[in-house]
Structure 1
Amino acid sequence: MMWTLHNNGELLPGAVVKPTERLNWGRTIGLGAQHVVAMFGATFVFPLLMGLNPQLAVMMSGIATIIFIFATKHRVPSYLGSSASFVGVATAIYAAGGNPADVTGALFVVGLTLFMVGLVIHFAGAKVVHKALPPVVTGAVVMLIGFNLAPVVASVYWPVDPWLAFVVMLIVVALSIGLRGFMGRIAIFLSLIIGYVLSWLADLAFGPLQKVAEDGTVSEALRVDWSGVASADWIGLPPLTDLANWTYGATDNIVGIHLPHFSLGAIIIALPVVIALIAENTGHVKAVSEMTKENLDDYMGRAIAADGVGSMLATSVGAGPTTTYAENIGVMAASRVYSTAAYLVAAVVAILFGFSPKFGAIISATPSAVLGGITVVLYGMIGLLGAKIWRENNVDFGNPLNLIPASAGIIIGVGDVSVPFGSFSLSGIALGTIVVVAVYHLARLIAPEQMKKSADGASLIYDTPGMQDIDADDAEGR
């Protein structure tokens, strides 16, 4: 087997399960289910926003994750789900007259570029990344990725039923801190089930929610609506799609499996996001290194290249590209179980979901308030992992060379600031990432030597073997 059994399958309080370890398969399946819950909403929603098929995207995300696990020799725990970075790109391509085939063609080229960058990093060494993306930069990228998700909670999930969302948040906190052993490790999954049941009971006790439209029309909606579940088939694949008569914005379009089309204009629109994906993957690997206290530098190139392969494979059949998922970092931070075996389980479950519209409908029927209560904790944990990278690497924010680029990029990422380029605009994570990276290196060109040396001092953990353990001891006062 690829994984060694952790402590005979038992999980002691405070223990950490390494990526190369696993619990017994029953518990591993439970953890895998929790990862499915964490990734499913975004993996399902982002393709919809991009005009692509969510059922196909879920299936291909599972296949891409399996490729990633084996490419990184099951050392880098990650789920590869639909990337949010391309939602704006897809909108811009449609606005310029493109169709879904133009979108998937452009994103295929982005995946190919990412794959080639990964190969360069793999053979040239992770120092290339460390030089281009020092701890102050990667910490800022991880932080803006997490906090950029805050508007999703504030404007999409939470407002639907604020009080129920608040109750679910309290349940997440109580179970994550109050439960012991394995049950405490799957607190997110348990919170979802409890929240689902509470939503159903709220429908029985208080009746459906009332929604007021912009024109003042009042409508009612159940918190738990299974009408889509009842009408969904148990087994089925997305349809083969002929896009010859596809019209942007038409409600009767059914986009399924299709071949990509390569349009130079669409490719130019999409390519800048490669920078964000490199930083996302680098930030993910460093965040995992920080949590597991293992130096994963040698696997950084593999991780980036594997993400590129996953994106190429997904877009080649008409699904959206993939990326290492920030949502699942939150699950690992909460459970302290980093076993890649749990991700393999999640990938297999996702593939099965791809063959079953029925199960996909059940997950997608999760009440918004439940997602709001869960994600308000998870997304915050993701953002604070960026602060943890800064702290563990002793980043000095008294140094303007560290302070100014990070502060500018984070505000752009969190505030979803945008800069237009004709019909295309860079915004949010993509623009924030570019600003952090570019402004940092531009600032180094004009900074005094003493300022550079002070900033360079905050790079020991990732460059020096064994420094992870030394820093962990120091942090605990030993």
Structure 2
Amino acid sequence: MVMGWTKHGDGKHLAPDEVVRPDERLTWPRMIGFGAQHVVAMFGATFVFPLVMGLNANVAIMMSGVATILFLLIVKGKVPSYLGTSASFVGGVIAIRALFGGDTPAVDAIVTGAILIAGLVLALAGLAVHFMGVQIIHKIFPPVVTGAVVMLIGFGLAFVVADVYWPQDQWLALVTMVITFLVIVVFRGFIGRIGILIGLVLGFVLSWGADRVFGAITAFNAGTGKVDTHFRVDFSAVEKAPWIGLPDFHAPDLRLGAVLLVLPAVIALIAENIGHVKAVGEMTKTDVDPYVGRAVMADGIGTMVTSAVGGSPTTTYAENIGVMAATRVYSTAAYYIAGVIAILFGLCPKFGALVAATPGGVLGGVTVILYGMIGLLGAKIWVENRVDFADPVNMVPVGAGIILAIGPVKHMITEEFTLEGIALGTIVVVGGYHLLRVIARRPSSTIRERTG
């Protein structure tokens, strides 16, 4: 059954190396804690990326919960994952706004219409994988490529920490990071498993306290995009937000020119989904291959559903996979809970505004851990599959793709369309590997198969 979880042990106590599998759960109060941690992990990026794309962040948060629940139902509860806002569409959306006239409700509809069609293409790609068999994935995404995609997803987000979060309050970022280190490593059982959430909450409280003791800080302000003097914690949006209310939905508008600008992001999403599913499989030590097609299709359907009402494109979230890597709790029950909480956020603008008030420095201290752990999962895939980096067919495109993602390097295709960062790195890794393999006349992936 999709939602038939068995209780893990007594549901309360976990040994340091003990794992809670996707079909297991702890006591419901503990699961609510893990679900809340997943919401916190996804909230920053899921809230910020819609703002960058000029879309409604509250709609994005609410519909991410709906998309996550749809995803879990489609994959039959076998792949624990959260669907948050995808960053792969940012470049394409900015190009659409430049082409069609900026930030107006009419252009918002054109943007979400283009995203909806991209979601349809992604869903069809997942359907093809599901019926043609996972072997097509092994041919296109062998371990050397899959590991690289997982790594560049994690390390490719380093610029968010370096350019956006950390500069907002470098000392609070450092303190939050250290607190999170200590909670995860020193404390055993439940407390250690929710170290990310505890680190974030304590960082929030310390930021509020720093405002009271030291006053305003002069640093980068993500809200204005400039260096200015401001308080670390700003509750003004919380005070203005109503307790209960629906976000502002809108219908999509389909324009072919806009669709063409976002379609390349589908390539990155296919690779990103496969990389995330493979990473989950490595962590849970389970065979998730039969569900790869379902996962890609589910992400496409999630993107279609969210964009149909004015929401953002979705993708399986590295931040939440990082939380699983830190907690070793892979229960899908936590994700259902996270989905419900996200929907309630959408219905309670005041609570959503409170979480959105989390200082950027605090997010920097937490995300530097999450993104790094995702990157190292890619290395784990290489090690366990014994990828041979003495072979330039493996080393050259992988190294280039990771650097392009970390940069993030921007490559302008036309005046209206630019490939950059994770999307560009993914294309170079996948395309470069297969091109070099053909040139070198390699019949298959140049890896030493794992034995034993």
Match of 1:5 among 4, 7, 10: 7
SS of 1:84 mapped into structure 2: coil
Q: Which residue of 2 aligns with 1:87?
A: 90
Match of 1:443 among 421, 436, 451: 436
C-alpha distance after superposition, 1:332-351 (max 9, x if no partner): 00000000100000000000
Match of 1:164 among 158, 172, 179: 172
Displacement after TM superposition at 1:71 (Å):
0.7
Does the alignment pair 1:173 with 2:176? no
Q: Distance in 2 between matches of 1:169 and 1:298?
A: 37
C-alpha distance after superposition, 1:364-404 (max 9, x if no partner): 10011111111111111111111111111111101111101
Q: Which residue of 2 aligns with 1:457?
A: 448
Distance 1:178 1:299, change over 3 A: same
Q: Distance in 1 between matches of 2:279 and 2:29?
A: 27
SS of 1:81 mapped into structure 2: strand
Displacement after TM superposition at 1:147 (Å):
0.8
Does the alignment pair 1:66 with 2:69? yes
C-alpha distance after superposition, 1:89-113 (max 9, x if no partner): 1100011115111111111111001
Does the alignment pair 1:293 with 2:285? yes
- CA contact 1:142–1:284 (8 Å) conserved in 2: yes
- CA contact 1:399–1:454 (8 Å) conserved in 2: no
Q: Distance in 2 between matches of 1:385 and 1:109?
A: 32
Q: Distance in 2 between matches of 1:164 and 1:45?
A: 20
Q: Which residue of 2 aligns with 1:222?
A: 231
Does the alignment pair 1:232 with 2:241? yes
Matches within 5 A, 1:77-116: 77-97=80-100, 99-116=107-124
SS of 2:122 mapped into structure 1: helix
Q: Distance in 1 between matches of 2:220 and 2:314?
A: 36
Q: Which residue of 1 aligns with 2:301?
A: 309
Matches within 5 A, 1:15-414: 15-97=18-100, 99-211=107-219, 219-239=228-248, 257-414=249-406
Distance 1:321 1:454, change over 3 A: closer
The answer to which of 76-85 and 160-169 deviates more is 160-169
- CA contact 2:159–2:408 (8 Å) conserved in 1: no
Q: Distance in 2 between matches of 1:404 and 1:429?
A: 17
For 2:448, give the aligned amino acid: G
Displacement after TM superposition at 1:25 (Å):
0.5
Q: Distance in 2 between matches of 1:276 and 1:417?
A: 15
Q: Distance in 2 between matches of 1:456 and 1:393?
A: 7
Q: Which residue of 2 aligns with 1:244?
A: none
Q: Distance in 2 between matches of 1:191 and 1:456?
A: 40
- CA contact 1:307–1:323 (8 Å) conserved in 2: yes
- CA contact 2:81–2:335 (8 Å) conserved in 1: yes
Q: Distance in 1 between matches of 2:176 and 2:309?
A: 38
Match of 1:424 among 417, 420, 437: 417
C-alpha distance after superposition, 1:156-183 (max 9, x if no partner): 1111211111111110111110010111
Displacement after TM superposition at 1:405 (Å):
1.1
Question: TM-score, normalized by length of structure 1?
Answer: 0.89
Q: Distance in 2 between matches of 1:316 and 1:453?
A: 41
- CA contact 1:413–1:428 (8 Å) conserved in 2: yes
Q: Distance in 2 between matches of 1:222 and 1:305?
A: 43
Q: Distance in 2 between matches of 1:93 and 1:44?
A: 20
Displacement after TM superposition at 1:448 (Å):
4.3
For 2:114, give the aligned amino acid: A
For 1:438, give the aligned amino acid: G
Question: TM-score, normalized by length of structure 2?
Answer: 0.95
For 1:69, give the aligned amino acid: L
Distance 1:220 1:418, change over 3 A: closer
Q: Distance in 1 between matches of 2:180 and 2:238?
A: 26
For 2:429, give the aligned amino acid: V
Match of 1:433 among 423, 426, 442: 426
Displacement after TM superposition at 1:261 (Å):
1.1
Displacement after TM superposition at 1:219 (Å):
4.5
Structure 2: 5+ residue stretches without partners? 102-106
Displacement after TM superposition at 1:8 (Å):
2.5
Q: Which residue of 1 aligns with 2:104?
A: none
Structure 1: 5+ residue stretches without partners? 240-256, 461-466, 471-478
SS of 2:9 mapped into structure 1: helix
| Number of residues of Structure 1 aligned to a counterpart in Structure 2 | 439
Q: Distance in 1 between matches of 2:426 and 2:385?
A: 20
- CA contact 1:276–1:430 (8 Å) conserved in 2: yes
Displacement after TM superposition at 1:12 (Å):
2.4
Q: Distance in 2 between matches of 1:13 and 1:212?
A: 39
- CA contact 2:85–2:314 (8 Å) conserved in 1: yes
Displacement after TM superposition at 1:14 (Å):
1.2
Q: Distance in 1 between matches of 2:198 and 2:220?
A: 32
Displacement after TM superposition at 1:208 (Å):
1.3
For 2:157, give the aligned amino acid: L
Q: Distance in 2 between matches of 1:222 and 1:434?
A: 41
Task: Note the aligned Cα RMSD (angstroms).
Answer: 1.5
Q: What is the percentage of aligned positions where both structures have the same residue?
A: 60
Distance 1:454 1:119, change over 3 A: closer
- CA contact 2:388–2:447 (8 Å) conserved in 1: no
SS of 1:16 mapped into structure 2: coil
Q: Distance in 1 between matches of 2:445 and 2:251?
A: 51
